[in-house]
Amino acid sequence: MLFQTREFIVYFFPVVALGYFLLGPRRPRLSLVWLVLSSLVFYAIGELTYSALFAASVLLNYVCAQFILHRRGRRRARIMMVAGVALNLAVLGWFKYIGFLAQIFGLPAPEGSASYALPLGISFYTFQKIAFLVDCYRGEVTAVSFDLYAVFVTFFPTLIAGPIVHHKEIIPQFRDPRCHHFDAQDFAAGASIFMIGMFKKIGLADNYARFTNPIFDAADHGHQPPLLESWAGCLMFTLQIYFDFSAYTDMAIGLARMLRIRLPLNFDSPYKSVSMIEFWRRWHMTLSRFLRDYVYISLGGNRRGRIRRYANLIITMVLGGLWHGANWTFVAWGALHGVALAINHLGVGAVARPAHALRRVAGWGLTMVVVITGWVLFRANSFAGAERIYRGMLGYNGIYLLPQIAQRLGPLRPFVDPVQPSPTIGDGTATDFVFAAMLTLLGIALVLLFPSTQNLSERRRLGVVVLIFGFCLQHIVANGPADTFIYFRF
């Protein structure tokens, strides 16, 4: 069930919120049970096949955590922690990586594995459960009841695509009796954040997808996109994934806020970054935190010399790329970001906080070159498809223009490819090209000139919501099923 559907907005969420706030003041623990059951129903609607597996994993992880917390000897606790982490990774690996691993080692994939769909949200809730087990072993968790643990792992706003929350951020809030009482100000603030996120999704991200999907799909199937077409696909996917992920983050934070739960910031205008270091402090912030705290530090961090530090950084980012998908293109994307981060830490190119205005502009430009060109690897389904896009961006696939534009170039006309390729931008008309160009310019202006949703004052957010509410309502009524979020497939 998607957040922006009629079923969720009109039926599911009102019923959940009503039950939560009716039970909360007198029976707070029962309200938690209600929220857990509602979250399981939410998951079952979206992924009925693996609902039992998900519920069983929640119970099993809680048992492992209790064993670690009531350990009799650190060695036994360590064995249980390693076993619990290994079990979580094994389940994730089977569904997500078994075919990829078989390909690496030249082995046939296990019988039937190709028919298994990836369980919804498995990459996100697996990380939360692993972090909790590790924190239990480290002594950062003292005691937690099953209802609190279950609501922490299953909380439906974060269940499918994050943020990847830490137990210290969520469990204490659910322990606070005030969180079980309705608050009109929190509800209004959350609703405004949710509506802004919904507009980003259906008004911006889905429109960019109309253009990017045909371009990349055609490139994956052998089409050689010319110069402008390649750049259009690259830039519009850069904007699509920005607004798509920003939208989901806003909607998750807004839903939780309506229920009086404050989720951590997960997205903070990353395209304004002047270095790769800053980019990863602004993009998918909770994933960056997890990779730092549970992968990079576990590998040794910066404690074993500079060479080992940079190696650990690159390994961490490669694993972060692989987390996004079982494909060599994701590995390459992670490696690209890892190398860029290592260079940044070495001080070559832009530094984390360049003081001079010219250095800031140069740092921003270099950062955007890495980020934008890297998105081609992220979006393409194969290296061949990515190569065709890159060749097109460099002009090797020709420079096709619409005839009505090309005929006005005068002496430059011979440099334009006279052969029209298969149109992949709308229906290939001037109207679609103009709309794509205007949409791209609008997106660039929004990401560079406007603050993030969380940095808007509540008064301004409410003002924006008044303007976009009618658009969102009309779109939902008129268009029916909505497009899924990009991060749902991870």
Task: Give the catalytic positions in this structure.
Answer: 324
Let me know: does 450 contact 245? Beta carbons within 8 Å: no
Report how far residue 324's alpha carbon sits from residue 277's, in angstroms, rounded to the nearest whole number.
19
Report how far residue 436's alpha carbon sits from residue 449's, in angstroms, rounded to the nearest whole number.
20
Q: What is the separation of C-alpha 226 from the centre of its chain, rounded to a whole number of angstroms? A: 30
Let me know: does 269 contact 452? Beta carbons within 8 Å: yes
To which H or E segment does residue 124 belong? helix 122-138
344 φ/ψ angles, rounded to the nearest 5 degrees: -60, -45
Let me know: does 425 contact 229? Beta carbons within 8 Å: yes
C-alpha distance from residue 375 to each of 52, 135, 167, 239, 467 (Å): 35, 33, 32, 10, 32
The angle, 0 to 180 degrees and rounded to 10, between the axes of the packed helices 13-23 and 28-46 is: 160
Instruction: List all residues 6 or more positions away from 392 whose beta carbon is below 8 Å from its beta carbon.
Output: 219, 224, 225, 226, 227, 229, 230, 231
